[in-house]
């Protein structure tokens, strides 16, 4: 017993399992945003793309009875929405902050609009947990890491693939170059517009998938304001992870833990207003960002240099 | 073989932004109509109802005007921050905390005479909003932390703070067990100008006019504009960027918090998490459509007030999701962004071989 709280073995394991589940949610969105920002496009529409992904994912899932179709449809919806942001901010060179925020608005509104009749829907299309043979029997570790929905494993694979593509392939080099100095990348023969469109689209697909994961696994049902600001945490995670897929994953687990903690309070019989603990992930985000910036104040920023700057060849 | 490219105009077209706004509105209505058609809703009925219940009849003007007040103040808050190139994305949270601070004053002086109490509550709201922006302002000014994320996170914190107050310390003892904050003192209510349009309309216009004057005519405003356009020039002229960044964030927060106070004393009876009602976020779109100029903010705010009020009416009478209004607001901005390009650029057909340099 610590501080009057009883920590049973099951409760602690349950908490860590939930941390990985919430971490998956955050990681999918944050990984997508990392790729978009690596190409120099800040997309503040994550929350909206997530919400639309969640609504579309739920509808497609329950109508077809397949969570896989839900996940794919949600992801496609996120990608479609992100194309609007790409068109205005990359194609027309509009301010990325304004365009991204409008996208959040649009995504939240669209999700509520199409989800209107599905709020009390009892149907479910949920992923089942998949145990990784041979690994799921490891004491504790197996239970915490190797008994998850397929989406969690996909997120891990995506993270490794993103790291590999960004750092070890010509396409990834081009994408990063476009996000650092677009004119140089252009001169070197990379199509700035095409690479940025692709990066924003991948970002949208991941954000949509993250939302669909909410409705096809984590929560399982659709309701208004389901995303509850987690899209914004995902954007903060990109800064936390210094635009590196690996570090972003660590951040996602850490923040996933704080989100899980809140949902598990009851189990620990903690006599503490969950509303106040509810604030923790958001306050933690601020504290962590301040600490990171403070530590890095005399070093060059790890942010892609061209972030937020539209590119027009004739004006370089 | 020819291709189309955008060529920058030497001077932007006159009246470009109002035209862009109109184009955005038309674009939004068209795309909105498409959406409604897909879901099988009666497009014309929906739009007719939205117009009737917002600007179309004098009976409902009050709702629209009252709605435009917080939108205009939030838009002003965002545009003040934008003078220094800052994004106060968390005006929503500052509105909430402003209303919280005003509620606190109401709890301390429940029996103060109305006018005195209102002034105290509005002042507290402004101070509360500034306080909520203080942390992000300091973090940005001193160590360069993105104010976008910090202000947003504080919005989430403010929501949860109010939920906590509702369930615990400020719970209405006579609320039949419902988690509601005790209502504000009755006498702390802004009077009506005409019909249900409250006096906040005048207050908001005065605040906006004041800031427009301040930004354009005062020394501080002049320094702001220099600092906002070039940090180098500002530093050379001996203007402290750090103090300007912090000052602008505090002012922006104060105006947003003030909006929260106006809401509490104008249209709301008690503090709750819905009191900000997305005004902080809509304010960003309002400010963007007004090109971050205070003078344009009231007009855009009025149009957005109409869309929002109209959007609410279609749910009750036609059973159409009020989210249509949210979608329309976003689409207006997207349409306007697209249209605005043409006030700064013209489309030119060039030979493919001739690569523009």
Nearest CA in chain B to A229: B156
pLDDT (tens digit per residue) in B22-41 = 989 999 999 999 999 988 88
Domain definitions of chain B by residue range: 66-292
Phi/psi at B352 (nearest 5 deg)? Answer: -60, -35
pLDDT of res. A271: 56
CATH code of residue A301: 1.10.3470
pTM of the model: 0.90
B330 vs A contacts (CB less than 8 Å): 102-103, 105-106, 109
Interchain CB contact of B35 with A (< 8 Å): yes
Q: How far apart are CA B147 and CA B322, in angstroms?
A: 31
Residue B340 has pLDDT above 70, yes or no: yes
Residue A3 counted as domain residue = no
**A1 is a domain residue:** no
Report whether pLDDT(B5) > 70: yes
What is the mean predicted confidence (pLDDT) over B282-300?
92
Q: Hey, which of A26-30, A219-223, B80-84, B139-143 has the most confident mean pLDDT? A: A26-30
Distance of residue A175 Cα from the nearest chain B Cα, in angstroms: 23
Q: Does A160 touch chain B (CB under 8 A)?
A: no
Size of chain A, expressed as the number of residues it contains: 316
- A182-199: pLDDT as tens digits: 888 888 888 899 999 999
Q: Which of residues 283-302 of B touch A (CB under 8 A)?
A: 284-285, 288
pLDDT (tens digit per residue) in B191-240 = 888 888 888 899 999 999 999 998 888 988 888 888 888 778 888 888 88
**Tell me, what's the pLDDT at A112?**
94
Range list of H helices, chain A? 9-38, 46-64, 67-85, 96-115, 141-145, 150-168, 170-180, 182-187, 192-213, 230-240, 245-263, 265-268, 274-278, 280-295
Partner-chain contact A286 B167, CB within 8 Å: no
Tell if the CB–CB gap between A105 and B341 is shorter than 8 Å.
Answer: no
Helix, strand, coil share of chain B (percent; to 5): 70, 5, 25
Total domains, chain A: 1
Write out residues in chain A with pLDDT < 70, as ranges. 1-7, 265-275, 314-316
Three-state DSSP at A47 gives helix
Residue A4: predicted pLDDT: 47
Contact residues, chain A, for B161 at CB < 8 Å: 279
If phi over 0 gives left and psi between -120 and 50 gives alpha, with beta otherwise, what is residue A65? Answer: left
Is A140 contained in some domain? yes
Distance CA B52, CA B57 (A): 6
Q: Please judge whether A105 and B6 are an interchain contact, meaning their C-beta atoms are less than 8 angstroms apart.
A: no
**Record: contact B326-A112, CB cut-off 8 A:** yes
Domain hosting A160: range is 9-315
Helix, strand or coil, per DSSP, at residue B8: strand
Indicate the burial class of A29 (C-beta count within 10 angstroms; 0-12, 13-18, 19 or more).
buried
pLDDT score recorded for residue A43 = 96
């Amino acid at each position: 017993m610590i501080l009057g709280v009883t920590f049973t073995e099951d409760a602690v394991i349950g908490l860590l399992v939930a941390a990985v589940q919430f971490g998956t949610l955050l990681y999918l969105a944050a990984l997508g945003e990392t790729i978009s920002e690596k190409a120099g496009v800040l997309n503040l529409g994550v929350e909206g793309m997530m919400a639309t992904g969640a609504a579309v994912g739920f509808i497609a899932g329950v109508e077809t009875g397949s969570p896989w179709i839900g996940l794919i449809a949600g992801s496609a919806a996120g990608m479609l929405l992100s194309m609007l942001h790409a068109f205005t901010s990359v194609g027309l060179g509009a301010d990325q902050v304004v365009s991204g925020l409008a996208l959040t608005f649009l995504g939240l509104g669209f999700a509520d609009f199409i989800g209107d009749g599905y709020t009390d829907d009892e149907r479910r299309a949920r992923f089942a947990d998949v145990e990784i043979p041979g690994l799921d029997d490891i004491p504790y570790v197996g239970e915490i890491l190797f008994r998850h929905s397929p989406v969690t494993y996909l997120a891990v694979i995506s993270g490794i693939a993103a790291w590999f593509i960004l750092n070890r392939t010509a396409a990834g080099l081009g994408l990063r170059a476009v996000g650092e100095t677009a004119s140089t990348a252009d001169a070197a023969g990379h199509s700035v517009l095409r690479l940025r469109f692709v990066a924003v689209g991948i970002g949208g697909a991941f954000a949509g998938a993250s939302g669909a994961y909410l409705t096809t696994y984590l929560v399982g049902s659709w309701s208004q304001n389901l995303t509850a600001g987690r899209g914004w945490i995902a954007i903060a995670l990109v800064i936390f992870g210094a635009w590196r897929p690996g570090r972003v994953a660590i951040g996602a687990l850490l923040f996933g833990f704080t989100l899980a903690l809140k949902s598990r309070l009851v189990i620990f019989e903690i006599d503490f207003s969950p509303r106040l603990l509810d604030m923790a992930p958001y306050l933690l985000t601020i504290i962590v960002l301040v600490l990171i910036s403070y530590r890095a104040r005399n070093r060059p920023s790890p942010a892609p240099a061209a972030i937020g700057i539209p590119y027009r060849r004739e004006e370089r | 073989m020819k291709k189309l490219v955008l060529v920058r105009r030497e001077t932007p077209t006159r009246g470009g932004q109002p035209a862009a706004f109109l184009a955005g509105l038309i674009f939004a209505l068209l795309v909105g109509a498409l959406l409604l058609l897909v879901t099988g809703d009666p497009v014309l009925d929906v739009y007719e109802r939205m117009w009737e219940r917002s600007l179309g009849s004098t009976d409902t003007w009050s709702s629209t005007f009252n709605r435009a007040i917080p939108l205009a103040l939030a838009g002003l808050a965002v545009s003040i921050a934008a003078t220094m190139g800052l994004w106060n994305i968390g005006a929503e949270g500052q509105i909430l905390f402003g209303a919280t601070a005003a509620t606190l004053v109401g709890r301390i002086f429940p029996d103060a005479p109305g006018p005195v109490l209102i002034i105290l509550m509005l002042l507290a709201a402004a101070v509360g909003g500034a306080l909520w922006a203080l942390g992000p302002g300091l973090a940005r000014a001193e160590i360069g932390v993105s104010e976008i994320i910090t202000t947003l996170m504080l919005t989430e914190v403010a929501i949860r703070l109010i939920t906590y107050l509702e369930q615990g310390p400020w719970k209405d003892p006579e609320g039949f067990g419902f988690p509601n904050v005790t209502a504000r003192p009755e006498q702390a209510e802004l009077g009506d100008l005409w019909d249900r349009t409250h006096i906040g309309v005048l207050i908001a216009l005065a605040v906006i006019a004041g800031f427009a004057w301040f930004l354009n005519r005062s020394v501080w405003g002049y320094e702001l504009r220099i600092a906002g356009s070039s940090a180098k020039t500002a530093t050379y002229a001996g203007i402290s960027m750090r103090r300007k960044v912090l000052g602008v964030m505090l002012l922006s927060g104060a105006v947003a918090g003030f909006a929260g106070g106006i809401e509490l004393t104008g249209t709301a009876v008690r503090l709750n998490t819905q009191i900000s009602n997305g005004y902080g976020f809509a304010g960003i779109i309002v400010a963007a459509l007004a090109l971050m100029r205070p003078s344009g903010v009231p007009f855009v705010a009025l149009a957005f007030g109409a869309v929002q009020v109209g959007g609410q009416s279609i749910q009750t009478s036609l059973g159409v999701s009020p989210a249509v209004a949210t979608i329309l607001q976003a689409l207006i901005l997207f349409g306007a962004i697209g249209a605005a390009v043409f006030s700064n650029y013209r489309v030119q057909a060039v030979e493919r071989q001739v690569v523009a340099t």
